[in-house]
Chains A and B, each alone.
Chain A
């Protein structure tokens, strides 16, 4: 039997420890790998569509970190001196905060030529970020309990007592209920009502008897809608509800007559992020017609690229509203605190 001396054992253990720490780093340095921050609800199509596409077209292995926009922002801010994310996909109001905190690198058309094909209004703040696809948002409802949701006022109706869940203002989709409250309280169109914050909160207070809870994690709330425990889930969006409907779940997304909202899904480059050229190539592919068509179909969303036909994804005859995100961004913290106190209890 061969005896292993203590010295040799220690040497072996040391080499193993150094190897286990250093080798992944070496492998990573040699591979074309990109770490992308994205929304948790996008994980399905990011894995099924984007990852294989990027492997094939730009030869990159994509690692996703699916979470909320605000968490992505915090990750970027916390790792400002040594970023590990190359590209982040998050919502417009959070993009504004990221620009204010100087966390983004602007995109330019020479490195991202597909920017030239995007719809008007989808490139923001001189190319700091662009909207790549836009799901539309309305009111999700259980089809066993209702025939539809004709108006946003249905959320306030007597028969909806205890049967409604609304998103927290911590979530971007939470803004839609706030704006709907402002619109109903003032009688003004969304474009004007969005600035009537006090009226909106007063109207939200009237909604409290109907609210079962507010959420910051959507999955549980949506599950209750599917089970019929609630009849309406306010502010939900096409990329979440319509794929579930297609799977045969008794839910649908209503477009109330007063209007629906365009979800502000944006893509940006992280300042000083690793593999900058590869990051440019990734964004360019994300904005290209081929991938846009696939994502738009999978996520039931409006493509940003004008070369892709939007088809019948958006309901016709209903106005689509895009809010003043700069106004939202500058007031959001105060609104969150106010909302939490209003809904407490």
Chain B
């Protein structure tokens, strides 16, 4: 077997086997699980999208998808909803993470329970609760009317706004926890040092805290965006069929149109978006990490 000479230090050559950390084998079951239950089915799905009726290669499913303005509207809506959900989640999650980072003892437990417990509640139950909140004589409309913000009830049910609010509510923990994890690692001395040098709280936030938490923000945004573009039950319950998203189109293609090629091609498009988000966020996190 050939040996590899250490490129820098000139230390004695080691066999290739010793270069591989054996603890990496612990990832084996997980990788196998992902390969069998995720990668292989996805690959089959991808191949299906390029297969014509006679078994040959075709791009017709993709050309027909992108040639239909309705599909493009659905694609745009899916991306818009995912983007706005991520933005709203971030706006709510960031201060929450800061508060959690400051909390100690029982208050930290309260925060964590408040964050994790709603995840055990089914989306269907939440959707029913939101319908009570969003309806024309619901709590939101009544509050805004009593505050004089609106003259008459406004329609909130079955709107894109309701979908964004609902989705952000469900996915909030996936934004809070990565930011909180990064905040926990920050050294408080950095804040004190900046303050001692005369930096105002606002200046400290934008020039110390925020840059250091960017990797957490990127990770949280990747989580929430990926979950948002692939959600099916939440839009089905909150906006119904009048404002479809890509996952709803996939279900429709497989279950109702019985068009596996179309369903596979939309799945592939969704997958490409998800992969792009993951790669971009990894690149961004690595770049921010390097800067840090």
Quote the shortest CB–CB distance from B39 to chain A (angstroms): 19
Q: With A and B bound together, what is the CA distance between A71 and B70 in angstroms?
A: 24
A215/B241 contact (C-beta < 8 A), A170-B256, A224-B157, A344-B73 known:
yes
Flag whether B243 is at the interface (Cβ < 8 A).
yes
Is A227 touching B258 in the complex (CB atoms < 8 A)? Answer: no
Evaluate contact between B241 and A214: CB separation under 8 angstroms: yes
Within 8 A of A (CB), among B115-161: 124, 127-128, 131-132, 135-137, 155, 157-158
Within 8 A of B (CB), among A152-171: 162, 165, 168, 170
Contact with A along B214-256 (1 / 0, CB 8 A): 0000000000000000000000110111111000000010111
Q: Are B131 and A336 in contact (CB under 8 A)?
A: no
The answer to whether B158 and A170 touch across the interface, beta carbons within 8 angstroms, is no
**Given A220, A224, A228, A336, which contacts B252 in the complex, CB threshold below 8 Å?**
A336
B155 near A162 with CB under 8 A, answer: yes
Contact with A along B61-89 (1 / 0, CB 8 A): 00000000010010000000000000000
Interface hits, A176-224 → B, CB 8 Å: 211-217, 219-221, 223-224
Do B241 and A216 touch across chains, with their CB atoms under 8 A apart?
Answer: yes
A212/B241 in contact, CB under 8 A: no
Q: Number of residues in B with C-beta < 8 Å to the partner?
A: 28
Q: A170-B241, A216-B240, A343-B242 are in contact. Are A336 and B257 (CB under 8 A)?
A: yes
B241 touches A168 (CB 8 A): yes
Q: Please tell me if A340 contacts chain B, counting CB pairs below 8 Å.
A: yes
B255→A213 contact, CB < 8 A:
no
Question: A212–B157 contact, CB under 8 A?
Answer: yes
Instruction: Using A340-B252, A344-B70 as known contacts, say yes or no to A229 and B157 having CB atoms under 8 A apart.
Output: yes
Q: Is the CB–CB distance between B237 and A217 below 8 Å?
A: yes
A223-B128, A340-B241, A343-B241 given; A213·B158 CB < 8 A: yes
Most chain B CB within a 10 A radius of its CB, from A168, A213, A221, A343: A213
Residues of B89-107 at the interface with A, using a CB-CB cut-off of 8 Å, are none
**Which A residues are in CB contact (< 8 Å) with B136?**
229
User: At the interface, yes or no: A341 with Cβ under 8 Å from chain B?
Assistant: yes
Of the candidates B124, B132, B157, B242, the one whose C-beta lies within 8 Å of that of A344 is B242
The reply on A97 being an interface residue by CB < 8 A is yes
**Chain B residue, CB-CB nearest to A101:** B258
Q: Which residues from 315 to 345 on chain A have a C-beta closer than 8 Å to any C-beta of chain B?
A: 332-333, 336-337, 340-341, 343-345
Q: Which of B70, B131, B254 contacts A223 (CB 8 A)?
A: B131
* A305 CB within 8 Å of chain B: no
Please list the residues of chain A having a beta carbon within 8 angstroms of any beta carbon in chain B.
68, 70-71, 73-74, 97, 162, 165, 168, 170, 211-217, 219-221, 223-224, 227-229, 332-333, 336-337, 340-341, 343-345
Residue numbers of B with Cβ under 8 A of A are 70, 73, 124, 127-128, 131-132, 135-137, 155, 157-158, 236-237, 239-244, 252, 254-259
